């Protein structure tokens, strides 16, 4: 009898372990699905468009294939790198459409000696209709030409219609396919999905990664001079740091000197007015020709920042150009030190814990949920 009981225990014990594993797995899955649903609702992005066609092997479902993301420097497991509520593939396609529609267009042949990107239209007899909305247009295609690179990318006109709706894939009664994303971006010279701004002046110095910060500045600040987008939000580090500095500067308490007044013991700014105005060489905006004194009592350091420089920092540039101060550039390392950048989670230079998958500076169940979404998935080509 005892032998029978031991045999039954031996037989049922593995099944008990398996049951406990399944129960634990089901619990994690329930937590994962519930949290994932909430995270999806928190993004607040626009509803999907029927033109936004799915693409195969897209781990983060952002309408960019994994290989496409690798080839253009995006992250294949983050669907919204710049955290604006729009999937990366949708945003990038829409921005491409804007650039393509604004390219100068020529019929059959462009003028000789043209150096800038342009498009050449080739007319095909017949019409085709969009499979989604039924829009009818010619079966024409464009050659997107970049003379400097010797690069030509063929693109159906129907493809541009789909890109306007956020999709590099297109489906119509004649043309069906997908634009070659990497070649197209190279031809139209579009790298990051940030709005171009003439205030972002070129850096006078070595800039290995072309992020609007010189190599010397990155070394002084402790940044990676070989990575132009260290936090992976698709915004060049120099532009991002300038805007962050301006936001911190705007929020500083202002000290106004008067007899008997005691300066604050915390980081503050002090206005120094001059009689006269200074005009921005880019947009013509007039600002006071004076400067701000930024003081950090904790480290016994201060710095003068002209009003015109603050105007440019708001546009993402440490370089400035005005009709009083002329052309100049702020001391980036000193300014970042005085303003104590990073001050908030996500600022350039933020250190993240190894398990902080969602980059919110905390390791919690949201990271467990993100980990659970990809549980048991594999990138092994043989599986």
pLDDT score of 82 = 85
Q: Is the distance from CB of 156 to CB of 97 less than 8 angstroms?
A: no
Tokens 């911190």 belong to: 248
By mean pLDDT, which of 184-188, 200-204, 299-303 is the weakest? 200-204
- Mean per-residue pLDDT for 147-155? 94
Band of residue 1 on the pLDDT scale cut at 50, 70, 90: very low
* Three-class SS state of 204: coil
For residues 255 and 259, the model is more confident at: 255
Partners of 150 in beta bridges: none
Residue with tokens 């459409």: 97
Q: pLDDT tens digit string along 336-381?
A: 999 999 998 988 889 889 999 888 999 999 999 988 988 888 888 7
Nearest to 228 by CA among 240, 215, 237: 237
Q: Quick: pLDDT tens for 274-303.
A: 999 999 999 999 999 999 999 999 999 999
DSSP letters of 50-116?
TT----SS-TT-SSS-HHHHHHHT--TT-S-TT-SSS-HHHHHHHHHHHHHHHS-EEES-PPTT--S
Banded model confidence at residue 73, pLDDT cuts 50, 70, 90: confident
What is the chain's mean pLDDT, rounded?
85
Contact status, residue 133 vs residue 126, Cβ threshold 8 Å: no
DSSP-assigned letters across all residues of 297-351:
GGGTEEEEEEHHHHHHHHTT-SEEEETTTEEEE--HHHHHHHTTS--STTSTT--
Q: Which pairs from 226-233 meet CB under 8 Å and 24+ separation? A: 229/73, 229/192, 230/348, 230/349, 231/346, 231/348, 231/350, 231/359, 232/75, 232/78, 232/81, 233/81, 233/82, 233/83
pLDDT value of position 161: 96
**What are the CA-CA distances from residue 69 to residues 21, 149, 176, 188, 361 (Å)?**
36, 22, 22, 17, 25
Would the pLDDT of 139 be above 50? Answer: yes
pLDDT winner (highest mean) among 73-77, 200-204, 306-310: 306-310
- 31 phi, psi to nearest 5 deg: -60, -45
* Whether residue 2 has pLDDT greater than 60: no
Q: Is the pLDDT of residue 96 over 90?
A: yes
Distance from C-alpha of 284 to C-alpha of 311, rounded to nearest angstrom: 11
Model confidence at 27: pLDDT above 60: no
Q: How confident is the model at residue 46 (pLDDT cuts 50, 70, 90)?
A: low
Does 316 have pLDDT greater than 70?
A: yes
Please, are residues 37 and 43 in contact by the beta-carbon 8 Å criterion?
no
Cβ–Cβ < 8 Å for 110, 144: no
Helical residues (DSSP H) of 88-228, grouped into ranges: 88-102, 157-164, 181-188, 215-221
Round to whole Å and give the CA distance between 98 and 164.
8
How much is the average pLDDT of 191-203?
77
Identify the pLDDT of residue 10: 42
Judged against a pLDDT cut of 70, whether residue 258 lies above it is answered with yes
Q: Give the C-alpha separation, 64 to 48, whole Å.
A: 15
Higher pLDDT, 186 or 45: 186
Measured CA to CA, the distance from residue 22 to residue 13 in angstroms comes to 14
- Per the DSSP assignment, residues forming a β-bridge with 170 are 177
Residue (of 91, 76, 253) closest to 167 by Cα position: 91
Question: pTM, whole model, 2 decimals?
Answer: 0.72
Q: What is the pLDDT of residue 38?
A: 36
């Amino acid at each position: 009898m005892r032998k029978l009981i031991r045999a039954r225990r031996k037989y049922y014990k593995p099944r008990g372990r398996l049951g406990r594993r399944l129960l634990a797995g089901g619990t994690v899955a329930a937590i994962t699905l519930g949290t994932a649903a909430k995270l999806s609702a928190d993004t607040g992005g626009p509803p999907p468009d029927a033109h936004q066609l799915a693409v195969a092997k897209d781990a983060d479902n952002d309408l960019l294939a994994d290989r496409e993301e690798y080839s253009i420097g995006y992250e294949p497991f983050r669907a919204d790198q710049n955290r604006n509520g729009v999937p990366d593939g949708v945003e990038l396609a829409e921005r491409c459409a804007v650039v393509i529609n604004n390219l100068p267009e020529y019929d059959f042949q462009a003028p000789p000696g043209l150096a800038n990107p342009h498009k050449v239209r080739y007319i095909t007899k017949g019409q085709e209709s969009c499979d989604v909305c039924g829009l009818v247009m010619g079966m024409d295609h464009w050659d997107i030409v970049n003379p400097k690179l010797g690069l030509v990318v063929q693109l159906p006109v129907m493809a541009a219609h789909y890109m306007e709706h956020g999709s590099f894939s297109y489906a119509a009664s004649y043309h069906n396919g997908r634009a070659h994303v990497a070649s197209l971006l190279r031809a139209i010279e579009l790298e990051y999905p940030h709005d171009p701004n003439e205030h972002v002046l070129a850096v006078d110095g070595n800039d290995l990664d072309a992020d609007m910060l010189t190599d010397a500045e990155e070394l002084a600040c402790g940044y990676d001079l070989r990575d132009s987008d260290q936090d992976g939000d698709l915004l060049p580090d120099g532009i991002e740091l300038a805007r962050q500095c301006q936001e911190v500067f705007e929020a500083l308490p202002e000290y106004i000197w008067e007899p008997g007044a005691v300066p604050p013991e915390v980081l503050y700014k002090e206005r120094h007015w001059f009689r006269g105005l200074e005009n921005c060489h880019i947009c013509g905006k007039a600002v006071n020709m004076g400067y701000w004194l930024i003081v950090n009592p904790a480290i016994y350091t201060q710095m003068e920042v002209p009003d015109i420089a603050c105007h440019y920092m708001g546009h993402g540039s440490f370089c400035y150009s005005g009709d009083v101060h002329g052309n100049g550039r702020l001391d980036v390392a000193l300014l970042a030190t005085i303003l104590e950048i990073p001050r908030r989670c996500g600022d350039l230079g933020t250190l993240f814990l190894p398990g902080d998958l969602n980059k919110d500076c905390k390791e919690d169940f949201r990271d467990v949920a993100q980990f659970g979404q990809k549980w048991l998935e594999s990138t092994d080509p043989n599986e």
